[in-house]
Structure 1
Amino acid sequence: MSSSKNTNINKLFEPFSLGKLSLKNKTVMAPMTRAFSPNYAPNDEVAAYYRRRAEGEVGLIITEGTFVGHEGANGYENVPAIYGEQALAGWKKVVDEVHSAGGKIAPQLWHVGSVRKSGIGPNKSAPAYSPSGLYKPGAPNGVAMSQDDINEVIAAFAQAALDAKNIGFDAIEVHGAHGYLVDQFFWQGTNQRDDQYGGSLENRTRFGVEIVQAIRAAVGEDFTIIFRFSQWKQQDYSAKLCETPDELAQFLSLLSDAGVDIFHASTRRFWVPEFEGSDLNLAGWTKKLTNKPVITVGNVGLDSDFIGEGNADLSGTSNPTGIDELLVRLNNDEFDLVGIGRALLVDPQWVNKIKHNAISDIKPFNKKSLMSLS
Structure 2
Amino acid sequence: MWGMSLPNRLAVAPMSRVTATPDGYPSQRMVRYYEGFARGGFALLITEGIYPDKSFSQGYFNQPGLADDDQAKAWRPITDNIHRHGSRVFAQLMHAGALSQGNPHRSHTVGPSAISPNGTQLTFYKGVGQYPTPVAMTSGQIDEAIGGFVQATVRAATLAGFDGVEIHGANGYLLDQFLTETSNQRADEWGGHVIKRVRLLTETISRVRAAVDQRFPVGVRISQGKVNDFHAKWPGGEDDAAVIFRALAKAGADFIHVTEYEAWRPAFDGADTSLVALAKRYAGDVPLIANGGLHDLQRAAHMVKQGVAMVAMGRGALANPDMPSLIASGRALRPFDASILGPIADIKESELTLRHG
- Provide the TM-score with structure 2 as the length reference: 0.87
May I ask how many residue pairs the two structures share in their alignment?
A: 332
Partner of 1:342 in structure 2?
315
Of 297, 300, 304 in structure 1, the residue corresponding to residue 294 of structure 2 is: 300
Contact 1:115/1:135 (<8 A) preserved: no
Residue 55 of structure 1 deviates from its aligned partner by 1.0
Q: In structure 2, the residue corresponding to 1:74 is in which secondary structure?
A: coil
1:373 has 2:351 as partner: yes
1:34 has 2:17 as partner: yes
Residue 221 of structure 1 deviates from its aligned partner by 2.3
Q: In structure 2, the residue corresponding to 1:65 is in which secondary structure?
A: strand
Residue 277 of structure 1 deviates from its aligned partner by 6.6
Partner of 1:150 in structure 2?
142
1:87 has 2:71 as partner: yes
- Partner AA of 1:88 in structure 2: A
Residue 33 of structure 1 deviates from its aligned partner by 0.5
- Partner AA of 1:136 in structure 2: P
Partner of 1:73 in structure 2?
57
Q: How does 1:120-135 map to 2 (within 5 A)?
A: 120-123=102-105, 125-135=106-116
In 2 relative to 1, CA 369–200 (structure 1 residues): closer, same or farther, beyond 3 Å?
Answer: closer
Moved more, 140-149 or 180-189: 140-149
Q: In structure 1, the residue corresponding to 2:150 is in which secondary structure?
A: helix
Taking the aligned partners of 1:151 and 1:232, their CA distance within structure 2 comes to 26
Q: In structure 2, the residue corresponding to 1:61 is in which secondary structure?
A: strand
Partner of 1:259 in structure 2?
252
In 2 relative to 1, CA 94–137 (structure 1 residues): closer, same or farther, beyond 3 Å?
Answer: closer
- Provide the TM-score with structure 1 as the length reference: 0.83
Residue 234 of structure 1 deviates from its aligned partner by 2.2
Taking the aligned partners of 1:188 and 1:276, their CA distance within structure 2 comes to 19
The gaps in structure 1 that reach 5 residues or longer are 1-16, 302-321
Contact 1:137/1:190 (<8 A) preserved: no
In 2 relative to 1, CA 172–267 (structure 1 residues): closer, same or farther, beyond 3 Å?
Answer: same
In 2 relative to 1, CA 276–132 (structure 1 residues): closer, same or farther, beyond 3 Å?
Answer: closer
Residue 357 of structure 1 deviates from its aligned partner by 2.9
Residue 85 of structure 1 deviates from its aligned partner by 3.6
Q: How does 1:1-374 map to 2 (within 5 A)?
A: 17-18=1-2, 20-38=3-21, 39-117=23-101, 120-123=102-105, 125-136=106-117, 141-167=133-159, 168-241=161-234, 243-275=236-268, 279-291=272-284, 292-301=286-295, 322-333=296-307, 335-359=308-332, 361-368=333-340, 371=348, 372-374=350-352
Residue 279 of structure 1 deviates from its aligned partner by 4.3
Residue 86 of structure 1 deviates from its aligned partner by 3.3
Residue 140 of structure 1 deviates from its aligned partner by 6.3
Taking the aligned partners of 1:283 and 1:21, their CA distance within structure 2 comes to 23
In 2 relative to 1, CA 245–105 (structure 1 residues): closer, same or farther, beyond 3 Å?
Answer: same
Which structure carries more strand by proportion? 1
Residue 331 of structure 1 deviates from its aligned partner by 1.8
Q: In structure 2, the residue corresponding to 1:280 is in which secondary structure?
A: coil
Taking the aligned partners of 1:70 and 1:190, their CA distance within structure 2 comes to 23
- Partner AA of 2:336 in structure 1: P
Supply the RMSD in Å over aligned alpha carbons.
2.0
In 2 relative to 1, CA 129–368 (structure 1 residues): closer, same or farther, beyond 3 Å?
Answer: closer
Contact 1:136/1:189 (<8 A) preserved: no
Q: In structure 2, the residue corresponding to 1:177 is in which secondary structure?
A: coil
In 2 relative to 1, CA 193–369 (structure 1 residues): closer, same or farther, beyond 3 Å?
Answer: closer
Moved more, 50-59 or 40-49: 40-49
The gaps in structure 2 that reach 5 residues or longer are 120-130, 343-347, 353-357
In 2 relative to 1, CA 364–247 (structure 1 residues): closer, same or farther, beyond 3 Å?
Answer: closer
Taking the aligned partners of 1:228 and 1:81, their CA distance within structure 2 comes to 18
Residue 93 of structure 1 deviates from its aligned partner by 1.7
- Partner AA of 1:324 in structure 2: Q
Q: In structure 1, the residue corresponding to 2:169 is in which secondary structure?
A: strand
